[in-house]
Amino acid sequence: MYKVLSRITIIAILCLFSLANKSIAADSTFTNHVDIDLSRMSATMVYSIVYQMVTEPKKFVGKRIKMKGAFSSYYDEAVDRRFYGCVIKDALACCSQGLAFETFKPRKYPKDFPSEGSPITIIGRFDYEKEEDGIGFPIIRNAIFIK
């Protein structure tokens, strides 16, 4: 009886684990599924789409974005917060475009982040963060680094 019960318990645990695994896999936060893959586009297209994201963010809210660029960060003393960005540089360095991102798991800066300017590829969900003064900025939430 004990053996049967223990087997049933093990099977039930395995089933639960399998279901949980499936549901995790179905949640796009944990997958590499993307709606807009900027990493496969030409520099001209990336610049244009990022421009659209910055100027008309509402069209892109909720979409999974994959982006390749240079890592950048800066500390805003006014709000006591460090911002992280994925920047796409241009040849003249005057028309760079980029998006802020927020990592899926909390990380410590600078130890858990790449060095400034190093190439990164991230996947995350596009969002628009509104500030207290009503002005907001686009941000990629739950971002994960892709090698």
Partner 1 sequence: MFDQLLFYLDFPFVRYAIIVGTLISLCSSLLGVTLVLKRYSYIGGGLSHVAFGALAIASVLKVTNNMFIILPVTIIVAVLLLCGGKDARIKGDAAIAMVSAGALAIGYLIMNIFSASANVAGDVCTTLFGSMSILTLKSTDVYLCVALSIVVLLTFVLFYHKIFAITFDENFARATGVNVNLFNLLIAIIIAVIIVLAMNLVGALLVSALVVFPALSAMRVFKSFFSVTIAAAIISVVCSLAGILVAILAGTPVGSTIVAMDIAAFLICYITNFIRSRRI
Instruction: Tell me which stretch binds partner 1 (CB under 8 A): 38-46, 69-77, 105-113, 134-142.
Output: 38-46
Of 40, 39, 35, the closest CA to residue 126 belongs to 35
Measure the CA angle with vertex 85, ends 33 and 57; round to 5°. 65
Site for partner 1 contains 39 (CB under 8 A): no
Site for partner 1 contains 52 (CB under 8 A): yes
Q: Name which position in 62, 92, 132, 134 contacts partner 1 (CB under 8 A).
A: 92
Q: Closer CB to partner 1, residue 98 or residue 124? A: 98
Q: Where do contacts with partner 1 occur on this chain (CB under 8 A)?
A: 41-49, 51-52, 55, 90, 92, 94-96
